[in-house]
Amino acid sequence: MASVGNDDGEQISLNIMPMLDIFSILILFLLMSFSTDPVSHDLNGSVELPESDTLNSLDEVPTVAITRKELIVNDKTIAPINAGELPKKYISQGAVYDVFKELEKLAEANKKFVKKENKKNASTLTIEIDKGHSFKLIKSIMVSAQQAEFVVFKMMVSKSRG
Amino acid sequence: MSKKRKSLDPVKDAMVELNVMPFIDIFSLLCTFLLFSAVFVSIGVMEVQVPFLSNAAPPKAEEKKKSTRNLEIKIEVSKKDVKLTSSFTEEPVNENTQAYGLDSSGLTEMHKQLVSLKLDHPDSDSVTLFIDDEVVYDEIVDVLDQIKLRYPSDSPNVSSQNNEGKDVFLYQKVIFGSVLL
């Protein structure tokens, strides 16, 4: 019980126990939801991830983001997305040439790093995709990445807590 | 009978008040720190592969002869349904196709069929997925969940190991067969 006195000698006491109870519960909840994931990533504002029961955590920041409005590679906007589709001028032979060019640069840098550090081949690409996009759009990005020698894809999902 | 003696010690009789203010200060700071650092959406990943061309030498005739009869699993996903086809790489092929709905009950049935295939053929660890262009990412993830993940209700004898050596997958390797230039 916390108390305060005034000049007349009156004591006003404040019951702080309920506040302590709330604080304890809040801390317990926050500690339980505290993330232990190796990488913390802020989702793009116009991306809603689908829910999945996967146990694999995100271990690298995504290189490609397919948001509702645009296609982003390495934080660089490549093309706008209108009604879930890329404008036709960006697509040739089922792939997006600008995505291929960007990923090719990345693949080259990866190869140099692998050679220098004597590490395993890093042909893995992490992609952030909005849950409403069709496979047609996803396929065109994957085909572009495939041409740049990326063959393993880590598709980001929201872990369901069920 | 013993008589209870009244305590005459004035120090013992005094009210002891606990100063909880430092305790509240610590709690407030801890709350603020946790609220700032809390991540309310936990992000995970689903790993898939795409087919690729290799410049490795083709298998020799002797090796070809040695090859065993393996189980191949193909899943075709369309807006309407999901078709699961199992067949063998050598004669007798014994091809078997079953269709399931793209809703949760249909996908659960498909998962049960995959579990029974895994129980019969524990060596098979890959599934090839063919997806129609109109299928959305949300639906693809639902199908992937049923292919890859092992649920507590599944038999403990069905599992593939992940990169950390933990038995968590039903079929670890999923190949997007339709991603070809």
Give the pLDDT confidence of A17-56 residue by residue, as tens digits.
Answer: 888 888 888 888 888 777 666 677 778 888 899 998 877 8
Query: What's the mean pLDDT when you consider all of chain A?
Result: 84
Select the residue of A95, A155, A158 nearest B41 (Cβ to Cβ): A158
Closest-CA residue to B143 (of B134, B153, B135, B151): B135
Closest-CA residue to A140 (of A74, A87, A86, A96): A96
Select the residue of B21, B45, B140 nearest A135 (Cβ to Cβ): B140
Contacts with A41 (C-beta within 8 Å, 6 or more apart), sequence order = A58, A61, A62, B43
The boundaries of the domain holding residue B78 are 61-176
**CA distance readout (Å), A79 to A88, A142, B144, B152:** 11, 15, 28, 43
Mind telling me how many Å the CA of B40 is from chain A's nearest CA?
7
What six digits make up the tokens of B178? 């339709």
Tens of pLDDT, residue by residue over A94-148, are 889 999 999 998 888 888 877 776 666 658 899 999 999 999 999 999 999 988 8
For residue B119, being part of any structural domain is answered with yes
Q: Predicted confidence band at B1 (pLDDT cuts at 50, 70, 90)?
A: very low
Question: How many CB pairs below 8 Å do chains A and B form together?
Answer: 167
A 91-110: CB under 8 A from B: 93-95
Mapped onto helix, strand or coil, the DSSP state of residue A138 is helix
Domain boundaries, chain A: 2-32, 51-159
Q: Which residues of A touch B50 (CB under 8 A)?
A: 142, 146, 151, 153
Answer whether B43 sits within 8 Å of A157, measured CB to CB. Answer: yes
Closest-CA residue to A66 (of B136, B76, B150, B98): B136
For residue B137, being part of any structural domain is answered with yes
- Find tokens 């694999």 and name the residue: A56
Tens of pLDDT, residue by residue over B21-35, are 888 888 888 888 888
For residue B94, being part of any structural domain is answered with yes
Q: What pTM did the predictor assign?
A: 0.77
Q: How many CA atoms lie within 13 A of B28 on its CB side?
A: 7
For residue B132, being part of any structural domain is answered with yes
B 38-57: CB under 8 A from A: 38-50, 52
Q: What CATH number is given to the structural domain containing B119?
A: 3.30.420
State the best of B15, B23, B43 to mutate against chain A, taking most chain A CBs within 10 Å.
B43
Which has more confidence, A1 or A16? Answer: A16
For residue B74, being part of any structural domain is answered with yes
Answer whether A143 sits within 8 Å of B132, measured CB to CB. Answer: no
Which has more confidence, A10 or B94? Answer: B94
Which has more confidence, B131 or B9? Answer: B131
Q: What's the total number of domains in chain B? A: 1
B 127-146: CB under 8 A from A: 131-138, 140-142, 144-145
State the best of A27, A103, A135, A149 to mutate against chain B, taking most chain B CBs within 10 Å.
A135
CATH for the stretch A51-159: 3.30.420
Strands B126-131, B71-77: pairing is parallel
Select the residue of A54, A133, A138 nearest B45 (Cβ to Cβ): A54
